[in-house]
Structure 1
Amino acid sequence: MQLVKVGLCAFGMSGKVFHAPFLKEHPGFFISGVVERSKEESKDKYPEATIYRSVEEMLQNTEIELVVINTPVQTHYEYAKKALEAGKNIIVEKPFTVNVAEAEQLVSLAEEKGLFLSVYQNRRFDRDFLQVQKIINGKKLGTIKEAEIRFDRFRTMPSGKQHKENPDQIGSGSLHDLGAHLVDQAIQYFGFPEKLFADVFSMKGAEFANDYFEILLYYKNDLRVRLKSSVFSKEAHYAYTIHGDRGSFLQERTDNQENELVAGAIPIYGKEWMQPLKEKDGILNFLNENSETERILTVSEAGNYMHYYQEIYEHIVFGYTLPSPGKEVIQNMKIIEASLESAKEGKVVKL
C-alpha cells in the first residue's frame, strides 16, 4: 500500500484516543511525528514517531504529507494556516475554528495551495447517528415534521481546562464543543436551515463558559429541529427523537467507541472492532402500508471511526470523496456563530 506519513500536533486525549490508534492500525498510514512540548508519552506506543517540541519544528519535516491539527480550538487557525503554507494536507479537529471568518480563510488557502482540508467530524461514524440516518432514509416515518438531537452529560464540577471553560476565550464552552457535533448531524440529516433561535448560557455561573444550549432550527418546509445539551442531566434522555407524519423514532446514544478507546481498546483495521449490542436501543413506531400501527424495538449496528481514516486514505490514493471537507463544515460554524448572536440579542437570526 502507498504509505502516507502523518504528523500529530498534540498528544492529549484527542491524539491518544481518536487519532493515533487508528493511524497506527491502518496499514496505509505511518505516524512520523508527534508534538509533545515537554513530555514523551507517545514513545511507549509509537516509538517510530519522532517527538517534536513545537508544531513549527514538525512542519519542517518534508516527508510528512498529512498533519492533524488536534490542539485547542483557539490555536486551530494559526496551526492550520502554518501547515497549509508548509504544503501539508490537514485534518482539523472539531470544532473547526472559533468563527466563520477563520474557517473561510483556511478553506480559501487550502484551495489556493491545491491541498485538502478535512474536519474530524467523527460522530458521523457513531452507531446511533448511523441508525437514525438509516431510519430516515427508509421513509417509514413519512415526511419528517419535528426532530430533537441531544448530547447531555452530568459534569457539574469545573474541569479546569481553560480553553474549554474560560468565558473570556472565544471558542470555549459546550456550544463549540458538543454543539459542533449536533449541528453537523442536523445538517447531515436535514440540510441547512433558513433561520434559528438559540438560548446559550452557563448553568455553573457567569465565571464559566456556556455549558447549556438549546437551538431551534427553522426549515422552509415547516420542519423544526431542536438541538440541546446540558451538563446537569443525571438521567439520560433519548438522544434522537424524530417525528414524521407516519410515525416516530426514538434512539438512545449507545455508541461506546470513545469509552472503549479510553480504556485501551485497539481498533482493528478491516473489521468491526466494537462488540454487538445485547439490548435494544431504539423504538420505531409507525403506520405500515395498511395504516396499521407497528411498534418495533431496534438494535443499531456498530459504528467505526476507522472508516473516517479509510475515507481519508482513499481520497489521497484514489481521489475518492473527501470526508467532511472544510468548505462543507463552514456551514456548521455559521450556525454556531448565529446561535451566539441569537442568544445575546434574544432574537431569531436569519441564515
Structure 2
Amino acid sequence: MEKIIKTALASFGMSGQVFHGPTIKVNPHFQITKILERTKNLSAKNYPEATIVRSYDEIINDPEIELVIVNTPDTYHYEMTMKALEAGKHVVVEKPFTKTTEEAARLIQLAKENNRILTVYQNRRLDSDFLTVKSLLEAGALGRLVEFESHFDRYRNFIREGNWKETGDERTGVLFNLGSHLVDQILVLFGDPKAVTCHLAAHRAGGEVPDYFDIRLHYDGFNAILKSSYLVKEPGPRIILHGTEGSFLKWGIDQQEAMLTEGRLPDEPDWNEEPEEWWGTLHTTVNGVEYKGKVRTIPGNFKVFYENLYEAVRHGKELLVKPEESKKVIEVLEACIESNRQRRTIDFNPS
C-alpha cells in the first residue's frame, strides 16, 4: 500500500471548511495532520485527528508534512508558498495564484529548482456547467462560435466590515476573486486571447475595491464576455453561447459549493446530479435537422482535483492545473487592470 500524503491546511476559513477539507476527507490517499488556526479551534469537530497549530513554522518545519495547502488571504500566497517550497513541500495554492505575474514566475522556478509539485486550486474547471459547455463546443454543436458570455454574479448590497476582500485595490476585489475562475475557464477552452478590454467599478456605497467587472477577451471571429457583479438580485443566464448554427443558454450555477456548505461530502452517490429543470437549452441545426431541447448537465466533482494531485505526486501523472496556466490567468487579469486604467482595448502579449 502506498504511503499516505500527510497534508497541512494553512488556514481554516471558508475555503478550508468548504472546499479543501471535505474533498481531502473523502480521499484515502491524503490525511490532514495539521491545521493552522491562530486563535480558534473550529477544525477540531470535523478533523479530530489533526493537530491544531498556531504558527506556520509548525507546519513547514514538520518533516512528515508532504503537502501544504496555502488557502490564506491572497496577500500571503507568495510568501507562504515560497517558504513551503523551500522547505521541500508540495504546494496547492488557492486562487488567485499570486498578486503579480512576477511572483508567479518566481514560485514556478522555485518549484522546479526544488523538484516539488506546485498547483493552483482552479476548482471551477470541475463545475458542471463548464464541463457541459466544453463538451458542446468539442462536439461542434453550435457551428462556428461567434459569442461566448459567462456570468458569476452575486447579490451582496453591503460592505462586510473588517473583511480583507473589501479593502485594497483592483487586485483585491471581484476581479481577482471571481475573475480568476472565469478567465481560467476561457483559457482552458480557447487559449490566449488576442486582446483584452475591461471595465471595473465599485457600485456599492462605500466600496473600496471593484465589485463589478465586464471583460471582453478578443479572439479571431468571436469575443468571450465575462461579467460579475455583487448587485444582481435576479440573475439571468449563467452562460450564453451563440454560433453560426445555434445557441445554448444555461441558468443556475453549479451547486457543489452550496452542497459542501451544508456539510455534505462529495463521495455521495449521484453527487451534483442536476435536476432536469435546470438543464440548459440548446437550439441548433445539425446536418440540416433542427433541434430545440434540453441538454443534460454533466455532473462535476471537485474531488477530482485531489485525485489528480495524488496521481501527480505518486505516479508522475500530468497535473490537472499546471502553475504556468495559472500564471497566464494573472497575466490576463493584469491586462484587465491596464485596460480599465487606460479606458481602451490593449493587445495581450504574455511573457
Alignment of 1:139-150 (within 5 A): 139-150=140-151
For the 8 Å contact 2:123–2:305, the answer to whether it is kept is yes
SS in 1 for 2:84: helix
Letter in 1 for 2:304: H
Whole-angstrom distance in 1 between the partners of 2:264 and 2:207: 37
Taking structure 1 as reference, are residues 136 and 109 closer, same or farther at Cα in structure 2, changes over 3 Å only?
same
Whole-angstrom distance in 2 between the partners of 1:6 and 1:239: 35
Match of residue 282 from structure 1: 280
Letter in 2 for 1:316: V
Whole-angstrom distance in 1 between the partners of 2:6 and 2:185: 30
Whole-angstrom distance in 2 between the partners of 1:163 and 1:222: 39
Deviation per CA, 1:105-132: give whole Å up to 9, x if none. 1111111111111100111111111111
Match of residue 10 from structure 2: 9
Alignment of 1:181-260 (within 5 A): 181-205=181-205, 207-219=207-219, 221-260=220-259
For the 8 Å contact 2:251–2:278, the answer to whether it is kept is no
Deviation per CA, 1:221-261: give whole Å up to 9, x if none. 22211111111111111111111111111122331111111
Match of residue 40 from structure 1: 41
For the 8 Å contact 1:280–1:298, the answer to whether it is kept is no
Match of residue 273 from structure 1: 271
- Aligned-residue offset at 1:272: 4.2
Deviation per CA, 1:157-177: give whole Å up to 9, x if none. 112254211135x63100000
Letter in 2 for 1:320: K
Whole-angstrom distance in 2 between the partners of 1:231 and 1:171: 16
Letter in 2 for 1:240: I
Match of residue 318 from structure 1: 315
Deviation per CA, 1:51-92: give whole Å up to 9, x if none. 111112211110111100000001100100000010001000
Whole-angstrom distance in 1 between the partners of 2:100 and 2:309: 25
Question: Runs of 5+ in structure 2 lacking a partner?
Answer: none
For the 8 Å contact 2:159–2:207, the answer to whether it is kept is no
Whole-angstrom distance in 2 between the partners of 1:12 and 1:41: 9
Letter in 2 for 1:231: Y
Bigger mean CA deviation after superposition, 273-282 or 91-100: 273-282
Deviation per CA, 1:256-313: give whole Å up to 9, x if none. 11111111112218x54334424242011111202x4211112203211111110111
Taking structure 1 as reference, are residues 143 and 161 closer, same or farther at Cα in structure 2, changes over 3 Å only?
farther
- Aligned-residue offset at 1:206: 6.1
For the 8 Å contact 2:238–2:253, the answer to whether it is kept is no
Alignment of 1:122-133 (within 5 A): 122-133=123-134
For the 8 Å contact 2:252–2:278, the answer to whether it is kept is no
- Aligned-residue offset at 1:328: 1.3
Match of residue 178 from structure 2: 178
Whole-angstrom distance in 1 between the partners of 2:11 and 2:117: 20
Match status 1:342 vs 2:343: no
Taking structure 1 as reference, are residues 59 and 267 closer, same or farther at Cα in structure 2, changes over 3 Å only?
same
SS in 2 for 1:347: coil
Letter in 2 for 1:317: R
Whole-angstrom distance in 2 between the partners of 1:113 and 1:172: 30
- Aligned-residue offset at 1:97: 0.9
SS in 2 for 1:279: helix
Match of residue 100 from structure 2: 99
Match of residue 329 from structure 2: 332
Letter in 1 for 2:249: L
For the 8 Å contact 1:199–1:215, the answer to whether it is kept is yes
Letter in 2 for 1:212: Y
Match of residue 120 from structure 1: 121
Match of residue 64 from structure 2: 63
Taking structure 1 as reference, are residues 161 and 324 closer, same or farther at Cα in structure 2, changes over 3 Å only?
farther
| TM-align CA RMSD | 1.5
TM-score of the aligned structures, taking structure 2 as reference length: 0.95
Number of residues paired by the alignment?
Answer: 347
Identical amino acids, percent of aligned pairs: 39
TM-score of the aligned structures, taking structure 1 as reference length: 0.95
For the 8 Å contact 1:238–1:253, the answer to whether it is kept is yes
